[in-house]
């Protein structure tokens, strides 16, 4: 079976994780802080502006809580996203406002954000679908104009670019990354939050350690606090040394990962371009490290079954949130409805090769010619 997605693990990862185990210091400690410093170097930011957490979902939850909004406040979220984006709003005790997406980008457009002006929405979870970042300046401007705080759900877009050469935005927004088992780099499970606003980050540093004040400082010395104060609710969201060790070795190979993902996507693009029943939703100019490869196709379910029977795993990113009972909405989402009927995610991961991409494209050609 050709897998839809997977991590890519080599000897450097085994060695790095074994080193953490050998140190017999497994909780959050100096390795976690080293990972944060290396992440900051990679993102070209000050380590003060960033902190790690144990999942992308906790990154989103922490980011929302760090805004200290009155509860419940209205927070917008695209209808086409992973349920984590919605749950982070619900677990913070806020009210989700689900909005439709642009069918070409699968993301919320700046026009949609402008229409939220006056709706009472105070924040938006903006999901960078597939690992791309489309029209970031327009999105950020529309949010600013509408008085909406921008939380970037960059779970899929670690290593992609915002503006020219910057990997992170130079504004007052928050960026949340995921390093789960299949992301652009993996910690096994892990996440990180970035913001230019150090107040948000400092608040999250305590929040991730049950609200224990300044425990991050103690743990960076391999120590922990025994006498402390707690002012706010906090969660057990810190990143362990084992997960950080894997993140360190994965980050060191990021350039290789990005190059391989770009080459595989270029191969798909070349081979699928002549098929009129298939359209690529890839945006090359907005993607430095593609996370998933999504096509818009006719007879999606039949094609999916055909590929599955021929040992090719595919996915659907995503079923609309509005289909879930928990979303509690009666609104219409015409774009999302259409998107959901036509999108198909083809295999993309670092251990895939061009021969397998050719096999997948030949099967798609065969399906439409029969
Ligand atoms: C768009 C999006 N947001 C949030 C998450 C949650 O990240 P994690 O799995 O690290 O909790 C994911 C993970 O798949 C995601 O794709």
Residues 118 and 244 grouped into a single domain: yes
Q: Is residue 24 part of a domain?
A: yes
Residues 335 and 357 grouped into a single domain: yes
User: Ligand 1 centroid to 182 CA: how many Å?
Assistant: 10
Q: State the pLDDT at residue 184.
A: 98
Domain ranges, residue 259: 254-369
Q: Who contacts 119 (Cβ-Cβ below 8 Å, separation ≥6)? A: 74, 97
| 55 Cβ closer than 6 Å to some ligand 1 atom | yes
What is the end-to-end Cα distance of the chain in Å, rounded?
23
Residues 72 and 104 grouped into a single domain: yes
Which of the listed residues 252, 270, 288 is the one where a domain comes to its end?
A: 252
Q: Is residue 50 part of a domain?
A: yes
Residues 261 and 155 grouped into a single domain: no
Residues 220 and 271 grouped into a single domain: no
- Parallel, antiparallel, or unpaired for β 121-127 and 343-346? unpaired
What's the CATH number where 336 sits? 3.90.1150.10
Overall number of domains in the chain: 2
pLDDT in tens, the chain (370 residues): 999 999 999 999 999 999 999 999 999 999 999 999 999 999 999 999 999 999 999 999 999 999 999 999 999 999 999 999 999 999 999 999 999 999 999 999 999 999 999 999 999 999 999 999 999 999 999 999 999 999 999 999 999 988 777 889 989 999 999 999 999 999 999 999 999 999 999 999 999 999 999 999 999 888 888 999 999 999 999 999 999 999 999 999 999 999 999 999 999 999 999 899 999 999 998 989 999 999 999 999 999 999 999 999 999 999 999 999 999 999 999 999 999 999 999 999 999 999 999 999 999 999 999 8
Q: Which helix (H) or strand (E) holds 294?
A: strand 293-297
| 157 Cβ closer than 6 Å to some ligand 1 atom | no
Q: Using CA positions, which residue lies closest to atom 8 of ligand 1?
A: 56
Residues 30 and 173 grouped into a single domain: yes
Residues 230 and 125 grouped into a single domain: yes
What's the CATH number where 67 sits? 3.40.640.10
Q: State the pLDDT at residue 115.
A: 97
DSSP 3-state assignment of 221?
A: coil
Residues 215 and 138 grouped into a single domain: yes
Q: State the pLDDT at residue 78.
A: 98
pTM across the whole model: 0.98
Ligand 1 atom nearest 178 alpha carbon: 10
Ligand 1 atom nearest 57 alpha carbon: 11
| 57 Cβ closer than 6 Å to some ligand 1 atom | yes
Strand partners, 362: none
User: Ligand 1 centroid to 178 CA: how many Å?
Assistant: 6
Q: Is residue 77 part of a domain?
A: yes
In this structure, are residues 153 and 125 in contact, taking their beta carbons and an 8 Å threshold? yes
Strand partners, 78: 99
Q: State the pLDDT at residue 14.
A: 98
Kindly report the number of other CB atoms within 10 A of residue 74's CB atom. 18
Q: Alpha-carbon distance 312 to 310, whole Å?
A: 6
| 191 Cβ closer than 6 Å to some ligand 1 atom | yes
Q: Alpha-carbon distance 336 to 322, whole Å?
A: 9
Which of the listed residues 252, 271, 304 is the one where a domain comes to its end?
A: 252
Residues 213 and 309 grouped into a single domain: no
Q: Is residue 220 part of a domain?
A: yes
| 85 Cβ closer than 6 Å to some ligand 1 atom | yes
Question: What length does the chain have?
Answer: 370
Ligand 1 atom nearest 180 alpha carbon: 10
The string of DSSP codes covering 114-166 is HHTTTTTEEEEEEE-GGG---SHHHHHHHHHHHT-EEEEE-TT-TT--SSTT-
| 127 Cβ closer than 6 Å to some ligand 1 atom | yes
Residues 242 and 310 grouped into a single domain: no
Question: Any idea of the CA torsion for 88, 136, 37, 238, to the nearest 10 degrees?
Answer: 0
Among 86, 151, 178, 191, say which to mutate for ligand 1: greatest number of ligand atoms within 8 Å of CB: 178
Residues 15 and 43 grouped into a single domain: yes
Q: Using CA positions, which residue lies closest to atom 13 of ligand 1?
A: 155
Residues 286 and 222 grouped into a single domain: no
């Amino acid at each position: 079976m050709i897998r839809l997605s997977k991590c890519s693990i080599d000897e450097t990862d085994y060695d790095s994780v074994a080193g953490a185990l050998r140190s017999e210091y497994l909780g959050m400690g100096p390795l976690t802080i080293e990972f944060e410093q290396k992440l900051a170097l990679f993102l070209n930011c000050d380590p003060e502006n960033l902190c790690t957490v144990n999942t992308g979902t906790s990154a989103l939850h922490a980011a929302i809580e760090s805004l200290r909004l009155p509860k419940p406040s209205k927070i917008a979220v695209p209808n086409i996203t992973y349920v984590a984006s919605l749950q982070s709003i619900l677990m913070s005790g806020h009210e989700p406002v689900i909005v439709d997406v642009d069918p070409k980008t699968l993301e919320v457009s700046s026009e949609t954000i402008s229409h939220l002006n006056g709706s009472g929405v105070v924040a938006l979870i903006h999901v960078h679908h597939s690992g791309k970042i489309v029209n970031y300046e327009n999105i950020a401007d529309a949010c600013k104009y509408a008085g909406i705080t921008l939380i970037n759900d960059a779970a899929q877009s670690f290593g992609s670019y915002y503006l020219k050469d910057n990997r992170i935005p130079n504004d007052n927004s928050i960026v949340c990354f995921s390093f789960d088992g299949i992301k652009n780099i993996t910690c096994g499970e892990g996440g990180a939050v970035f913001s230019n606003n150090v107040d948000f980050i400092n608040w999250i540093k305590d929040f991730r350690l049950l609200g224990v004040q300044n425990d991050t400082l103690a743990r960076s010395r391999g120590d922990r606090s025994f006498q402390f104060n707690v002012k706010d609710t906090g969660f057990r969201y810190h990143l362990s040394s084992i997960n950080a060790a894997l993140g360190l070795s994965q980050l060191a190979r990021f350039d290789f990962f990005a190059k391989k993902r770009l080459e595989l996507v270029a191969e798909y693009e070349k081979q699928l371009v002549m098929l009129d029943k298939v359209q690529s939703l890839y945006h090359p100019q907005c993607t430095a490290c593609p996370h998933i490869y999504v096509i818009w196709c006719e007879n999606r379910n039949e094609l999916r079954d055909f590929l599955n029977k021929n040992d090719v795993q595919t996915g659907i990113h995503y079923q609309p949130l509005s289909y879930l009972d928990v979303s509690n909405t009666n609104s219409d989402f015409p774009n999302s409805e259409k998107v959901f009927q036509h999108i198909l995610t083809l295999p993309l991961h670092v251990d895939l090769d061009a021969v397998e991409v050719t096999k997948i494209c030949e099967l798609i050609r065969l399906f439409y010619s029969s």
